[in-house]
Structure 1
């Protein structure tokens, strides 16, 4: 007699189908990584690539695990394959290849990859880290850092930019002609198909628009722009069931880029999915360093259309600080105040278009005069210096839009203030960057003056401060047998450099050795660079570079 299986009813047997797709192998790879089973993870990432070779994320995961295993050359081969065969626009692959080259001690190759990355994507996700790496490589190579040369855009991309400008201004005929030329020149360039579909839709050529969308989705079924266009056109044609099915697909997508979030948010708002639009736009407002007034408007409209009137007012007020001329934020604030004073009135759904409804154009000319009003600019400076953080941010955004003659000077003074949150000072640095102000930039952070060569707002200032403390600790720990007088001068020199502004700390041992050398020479101690470099386990050339960096402060403290 056969034993029955516990908990299994023969009448209710179920077959569970496993989908052995790329996502399945990705999950297995992640589990293996969590268990430190790297060879297994490598196997599963390879299988994910085999199942979905057109997805660059799978290739990047494979390159990443190869790099973790120390197989840097193989990792770079995978990354080159992405750029050559999968997605040439994935410029961060150059940054990853630079890291691999650095790990192989091929510094010049690493430098070339970094220059390539910054030339193609100067404001990319890893731009700050790439600039820091270039600086460190230049120190190791013993020469000034090279400057990236901006990559010239391919002809079809330049044409696409021109066509997009026509689309933005509503001039559809020249946009259509340019986009058709691009598709003939580069049949695989999908952005041109999406924008041509949009242009056809706005000019009433619905069938042509749908045909282009179909071509895109056959090549890339998850293409967000095509799905958004398809949803809007289906809705306008009265195909509610089809439109809702596409909307559900769009709701499940997580936009990885800001422009995708913009597109998805506006599409969701246009289709009446205001709650989804609100989540996207309220998030974008938080992540954008300098939000444009139209983004604040989109966030405000989505807040209005979901019944969040007070939040809508906050967003329109922020838009008004930046945009004093168009009258759009002022118009909607007046409308909103009427509904807030009469809560019994139901709020109509309003459009996301950043313009005053044509039937109610009532531009305020007085707002335009504020840009040349010295009292208004003085008021903004007062808020920047004395207001709460949120008020400071709004004042800085308004000043950036107005750009008075003394703005750079006032921003540099603002950075040296002991008060003010780091978030506000980051914004001031971003504005200086937009103004193309000349470095260095000295900023007071918790009593430490940090000297930035580039106004990059993504620096971790707390780490920077900690590293300067570690320089003093490193120096004193190497001078335990030295007299108290020399140690006192070490601390004095360390403090004087702090007062002048701390440059980026690439190697604490280099700074510590340079400080000890300067103090020893001042006291006429017998010491050589070679011996000191050996003591701190750095090269003599590295020590020489740090001594040169320290010279101005040494001269001021000991010899002036």
Structure 2
């Protein structure tokens, strides 16, 4: 006995004290719910309420369990107390009460609660369900139900359109629409949250942070805003504030599917993979979601980040089975061997798409360097481009500007025009952006900050410092760019423009007379190809441009003499000696 007592005494320091608080009992309740042990879940929710009697969420969860157990009267008593004493703005409680009354066959009371929900709720979270219940009441009451002014529908349609724009990667259009909605209805928090996301996707972090803080000022416990705030704080490197917020999110166990998904993805982005994995596993228990390959991918990323490699492989195999036409699960399964051995790190993103670098590699190796249609439409790819345009290094920005020129829609034009006004961006990158804008059909005057000054680039002008831009110079450029379109990428075409502008600038005002634009265009293409180490001959370009070999050769030698192309190339490639007569 004495030995045992000493062992117990000696082992006391190894005992870990359990912190009994509302979060502890909330977690126990959620686990019981996952196992359909409603009696235990109710007991734990009651304990959570005892620890935090003023927290309406705990009361609401307890009411939900009571409703599942058929105790509708008691459930409504708690819901009524929430609305009267704890949180009158939790309008969803009216909807829950209507359900309870309907189950009690008290249809008049159900109608009253449902009308109140429709007239007071701004978000429209249960709008479809409420309309279905109205149809049931019509049948049970044997009369048309009372007409309600549906508050959420006032902005719901417009908000749905804005969300659709976000999902399509049309961030600029979404921002315009959401800004107008927030201006009209400052209390529309869902619109503010989506506006913050739109700013985030575009790389406008300061604006996103402001929009998020405005939501939290109105509703400090708004989960979507708390998750957004955590992402912004991570980006800003505010570690102290982020740690406190992450600790709060770790203790959060949302009930609704949408909230669980938001929290899971946020925790994954924050590197809280254990928490992300736990929430994603909860979602996979929902039968409705078990056919979604994205969810298996999210679970797999969390698992591989936790070194649960076999589990990750199983999940990616299931994603591939559900989405056989996608390269995404197969790509990550191929990477898994390198991740296991430590040669490659785990995926840095939870998004269901290929890594940004892999997207670029596919694009650059595709025939003609064209951007595949599915990449043009992918909102995550588009978001990556907008991010990189603002926050990437010079080489990445150059790649992105070229890629945006291949997408060439209104969003791209807006993004590139905004880029021209950024005072801290390099002038050379802005001139390439102007060239891209002109190439994709933007011919009107453009505002840009160049050489530290805001200036107007006149309509149809290409980016140059020449005081004039003659129509015959433009003809040369258009003759070259038209023929080069399918065979040269955007940067190579811009280099041709730069070469032509440099040649004219060094000679100005004693510039050559242009008798045949095609001959000069052929010479420019020949030199541009040589600068990029491409195989080309005078005979080839002369034939394609309908001019003579001798004329192309003469113009090429003149441009080389003025711009010293051969000399510049030899400084990089000593053996270079390719600008010569045929």
Q: TM-score, normalised by structure 2?
A: 0.44
Structure with greater contact order relative to length (CA < 8 Å, sep ≥ 6): 2
Larger Rg: 2
